[in-house]
């Protein structure tokens, strides 16, 4: 057992080395593998949070969105451990070059915000701005899914009120998925 644990640790360490390496393709492959590990067992990566935070500075979008997806899964396990990713997620939320990076940043911030009223207060201004900026964009559907999870989380009454106000118009006057999700968000806030 100890030998298996040691092998896993060595493999994760090697992945983190690739994530920090100079080869773009290897960084992307390492980010893909790290995201797959996080999907199965995010707690395995908690000791590598600093490496993942550093990877948010990589120039290629794929590495950044997969690392943000990894951090989102990790936030469900230990939001305090990944809270330092806030600045990197904020920068990624308004990345002009990649909708995938923006969406992953939004999902991370929503998950982080759902973990406590204090985190909700911190992330809400960014989520609110993103809702306004990306309303109707192709990734907006998935942003609303994340926003629904945020609404079901541990958010402050002030944020709940602001969120309700933000989606109220779409809940009454919107169309399709925008109207449906907006109404679900309001219902989740009422629970």
- What confidence tens digit (pLDDT) does each residue in 19-58 have? 999 999 999 999 999 999 999 999 999 999 999 999 999 9
pLDDT, average across residues 100-128: 98
Residue 156 class from Cβ within 10 Å (0-12 exposed, 13-18 middle, 19+ buried)?
middle
pLDDT band at 164 (very low <50, low <70, confident <90, very high): very high
- Cβ atoms of residues 71 and 115 within 8 Å: no
How many domains are contained in the chain? 1
pLDDT band at 2 (very low <50, low <70, confident <90, very high): low
C-alpha distances out from residue 13 to 59, 71, 107, Å: 21, 17, 26
- CATH code: domain of residue 119: 1.25.10.10
pLDDT, average across residues 83-112: 96
pLDDT value for 1: 60
What percent of the chain has pLDDT above 70?
98
d(CA 46, CA 85): 13
Cβ atoms within 10 Å, residue 125 = 12
pLDDT value for 149: 97
pLDDT value for 6: 82
Domain of residue 130 covers 2-190
């Amino acid at each position: 057992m100890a030998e298996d644990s040691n092998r896993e640790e060595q493999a994760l360490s090697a992945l983190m080395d690739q994530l920090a390496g100079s080869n773009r393709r290897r960084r992307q492959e390492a980010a893909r593998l790290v995201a797959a590990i996080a999907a199965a067992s995010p707690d395995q990566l908690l000791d590598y949070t600093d490496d993942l935070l550093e990877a948010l500075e990589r120039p290629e979008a794929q590495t950044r969105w997969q690392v943000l997806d990894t951090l989102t899964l990790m936030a469900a396990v230990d939001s305090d451990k990944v809270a330092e990713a806030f600045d990197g997620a904020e920068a990624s939320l308004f990345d002009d070059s990649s909708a995938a990076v923006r969406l992953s940043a939004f999902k991370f911030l929503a998950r982080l915000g759902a973990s406590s009223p204090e985190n909700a207060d911190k992330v809400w201004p960014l989520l609110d701005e993103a809702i306004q900026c990306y309303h109707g964009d192709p990734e907006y559907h998935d942003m609303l899914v994340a926003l629904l999870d945020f609404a079901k989380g541990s958010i402050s009454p002030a944020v709940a009120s602001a969120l309700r106000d933000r989606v109220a118009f779409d809940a009454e006057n919107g169309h399709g998925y925008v109207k449906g999700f907006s109404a679900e968000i309001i219902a989740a806030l009422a629970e």
